[in-house]
């Protein structure tokens, strides 16, 4: 069974999945026509904190900004949709116009668009799909997500516009895994042997042809990336914009300043403490929507007293998570219950987050032998209840949370010592279980594969930081992965959440909502939790208002 370990997504350094968006503004928005006719042409300028890592995702970092840009340059077979409120996410046609699983679910056939072309005019065919799979699984390339192809034994070219994936087993993520990755241009990139792909990543930019709505017009490293319309795109109505300019502005506060001043048109991410500056401007709107992230404190169950679920539950009861949401997120987040956010179909709506109850927390700790000692710090067998609580230096919300949590725990006699570390150092320590407690966050995979975080097999060198080991939890997670129809696994997901709720190996802190900002003349801007730029090809610019 594929392990589906997606480190880049799981580290969740940025907030990132759902449908419902809301607009906020302190100034009434100008009335908008009920039916507007999109205009073609024009340019928008979008801020980014990072530069482009490259144009070939198999040898470049596949996170954040680079992923967003490559989504505009290259097609996947299908386009995953952010429609998972009531059911597992569905797929829309992209390079493939239709697809079907065989009755025994051992083969998956895609029928490609006959009109699809590379930007140099060459037809996109099933040979490109097979070539892409060969590159994805080639050991010399070492694609970070090659595990998603583990159960695919062959990709067969049936005819120029039909390709068939053959699987070694049946499992819930077959369409997801077959679809994972951009389709690459065989007629150009096969000129470089796979063994040399990592020697010169810039070769792919010099030999770039694309299939998406935009092409790469200019790249000035450290300054900006310019995308321009791909005239060979299969949909002649898209994109609506001529150009999209990404300006690299590392400082989020400077981004807001430039947006307010009119130098930028769109910010994919706005910090909660900057939201009021956006809503104060009549020229701007703040777009608020749910994400697929949750932040948590992971307790190291290999170290007493965190090996005791009663102690862990007491710690959760002692942390005022609603205060954290109100203070750190200005209310633009919700208290978390578990690893499946509240707006996702498999969330257990019959459970409620543990309340803030310091009195009950003290009672539980007393039942486990803790008594007030010197300076009011709880002790057990002469050892004070003192531990280190770590997080990554680069996340202001998390570092501020450490201070608030330290004070909340102090009130019941627990001494939490904050420590901030560079993210890579923190992650290495977490994987090695070299910590007492760590505050971090996951951006969940839309497959809801919980194995990497909560299965005992992932404790040795994996992302089960707290070394969680529970036989029933393991059995349920494995059972989900054997259920061909993911929707039918909902009772399994419910029981998984009940176990985690009872045992509290994590204190689930908050589910942040994502904030974006746009100038009001931009139309059809609809970010979702898959990407703030999800429908960039459909954006358009309204004409400037006519002044009297």
pLDDT in tens, 413-463: 999 999 999 988 999 999 999 999 999 999 888 889 999 999 999 999 999
Share of the chain above pLDDT 70, in %: 93
Does 252 score more than 70 pLDDT?
A: yes
Mean pLDDT of 114-142: 98
Chain-centroid distance of CA 65 in Å reads 12
Q: How confident is the model at residue 543 (pLDDT cuts 50, 70, 90)?
A: confident
Share of the chain above pLDDT 90, in %: 85
Chain-centroid distance of CA 223 in Å reads 25
Distance CA 378, CA 465 (A): 26
Mean pLDDT of 142-150: 93
Residue 36 burial (C-beta neighbours within 10 Å; 0-12, 13-18, 19+): exposed
User: Which of 272, 332, 340 has its CA nearest to residue 493?
Assistant: 340
Cβ density class 510-523: b for 16+ within 10 Å, e for less: bbbbbbbbbbbebb
One fold for 54-207 and 293-513: no
The pLDDT value recorded for residue 443 is 87
Annotated domain spans of the chain: 54-207, 293-513
How many C-alpha atoms does 128 have within 13 Å on its Cβ side? 29
Instruction: Give the DSSP letter of residue 493.
Output: H
Does 5 score more than 50 pLDDT?
A: no
Q: Looking at the domain 293-513, which fold is it?
A: Dipeptide-binding Protein; domain 3 (3.10.105)
Does 22 score more than 80 pLDDT?
A: no
Mean pLDDT of 45-51: 94
What is the SS3 assignment for 200? coil
Inter-residue contact 317 to 335 (CB < 8 Å): no
How many C-alpha atoms does 351 have within 13 Å on its Cβ side? 23
Pairing of strands 162-167, 107-112: antiparallel
What is the SS3 assignment for 289? strand
pLDDT in tens, 254-263: 999 999 999 9
Pairing of strands 96-101, 78-80: unpaired
Greatest Cα pair distance, the chain, in angstroms, is 81
pLDDT in tens, 195-217: 999 999 899 999 999 999 999 99
Q: Looking at the domain 54-207, which fold is it?
A: Dipeptide-binding Protein; domain 1 (3.90.76)
Chain-centroid distance of CA 133 in Å reads 24
Which of 1-5, 30-34, 303-307, 310-314 is the least confident region?
A: 30-34
Pairing of strands 371-372, 21-24: unpaired
> What is the rounded radius of gyration, in angstroms, for the C-alpha atoms of the chain?
25
Does 472 score more than 90 pLDDT?
A: yes
Distance CA 483, CA 485 (A): 6
Does 354 score more than 70 pLDDT?
A: yes
The pLDDT value recorded for residue 331 is 85
User: Which of 490, 464, 468 has its CA nearest to residue 479?
Assistant: 490
Q: How confident is the model at residue 9 (pLDDT cuts 50, 70, 90)?
A: very low
Bond into 239 cis (ω within 30): yes
């Amino acid at each position: 069974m594929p392990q589906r370990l997606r480190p880049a997504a799981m580290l969740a350094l940025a907030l990132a999945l759902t449908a419902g968006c809301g607009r906020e503004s302190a100034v009434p928005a100008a009335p908008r026509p009920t039916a507007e006719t999109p205009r073609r042409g024009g340019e928008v300028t979008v801020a980014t904190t990072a530069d482009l890592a490259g144009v070939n995702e198999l040898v470049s970092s596949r996170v954040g900004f680079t992923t967003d840009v490559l989504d505009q340059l290259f097609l996947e077979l299908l386009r995953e949709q952010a429609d998972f409120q009531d059911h597992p996410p569905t797929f829309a046609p992209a390079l493939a116009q239709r697809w079907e699983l065989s009755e025994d679910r051992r083969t998956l056939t895609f029928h490609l668009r006959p009109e699809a072309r590379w930007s140099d005019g060459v037809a996109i065919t099933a040979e490109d799909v097979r070539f892409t799979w060969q590159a994805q699984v080639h050991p010399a390339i070492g694609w970070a997500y090659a595990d998603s192809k583990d159960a695919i034994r062959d990709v067969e070219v049936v005819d120029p516009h039909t390709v068939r994936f053959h699987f070694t087993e049946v499992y819930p993520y077959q369409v997801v895994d077959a679809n994972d990755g951009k389709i690459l241009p065989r007629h150009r990139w096969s000129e470089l042997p796979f063994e040399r792909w990592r020697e010169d990543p810039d070769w792919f930019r010099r030999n770039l042809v694309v299939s998406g709505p935009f092409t790469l017009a200019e790249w000035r490293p450290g300054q900006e990336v310019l995308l321009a319309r791909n005239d060979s795109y299969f949909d002649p109505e898209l994109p609506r914009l001529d150009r999209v300019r990404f300006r690299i502005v590392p400082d989020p506060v400077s981004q807001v300043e430039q947006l307010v001043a009119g130098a930028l048109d769109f910010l994919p991410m706005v910090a909660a403490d900057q939201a009021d500056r956006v809503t104060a401007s009549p020229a701007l709107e703040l777009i608020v929507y749910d994400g697929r992230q949750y932040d948590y404190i992971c307790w190291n169950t290999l170290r007493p007293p965190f090996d005791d679920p009663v102690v862990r539950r007491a710690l959760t009861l002692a942390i005022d998570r609603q205060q954290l949401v109100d203070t750190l997120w200005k209310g633009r987040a919700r208290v978390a219950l578990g690893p499946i956010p509240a707006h996702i179909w498999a969330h257990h709506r019959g459970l409620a987050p543990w309340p803030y109850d310091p009195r009950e927390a003290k009672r539980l700790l007393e039942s486990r032998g803790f008594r007030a000692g010197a300076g009011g710090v709880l002790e057990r067998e002469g050892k004070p209840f003192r531990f280190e609580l770590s997080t990554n230096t680069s996340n202001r919300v998390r570092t501020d949370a450490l201070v608030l949590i330290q004070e909340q725990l102090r009130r019941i006699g627990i001494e939490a010592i904050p420590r901030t570390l560079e993210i890579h150092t923190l992650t290495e320590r977490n994987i090695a279980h070299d910590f007492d407690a760590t505050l971090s966050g996951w951006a969940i995979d839309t497959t809801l594969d919980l194995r990497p975080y909560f299965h005992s097999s992932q404790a040795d060198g994996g992302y089960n930081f707290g070394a969680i080991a529970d036989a029933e939890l393991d059995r349920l997670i494995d059972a989900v992965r054997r259920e061909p129809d993911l929707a039918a696994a909902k009772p399994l997901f419910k029981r998984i959440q009940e176990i985690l709720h009872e045992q509290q190996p994590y204190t689930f802190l908050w589910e942040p909502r994502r904030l974006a900002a746009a100038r009001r003349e931009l139309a059809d801007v609809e970010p979702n939790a898959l990407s703030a730029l999800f429908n960039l090809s459909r954006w358009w610019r309204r004409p400037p208002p006519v002044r009297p």
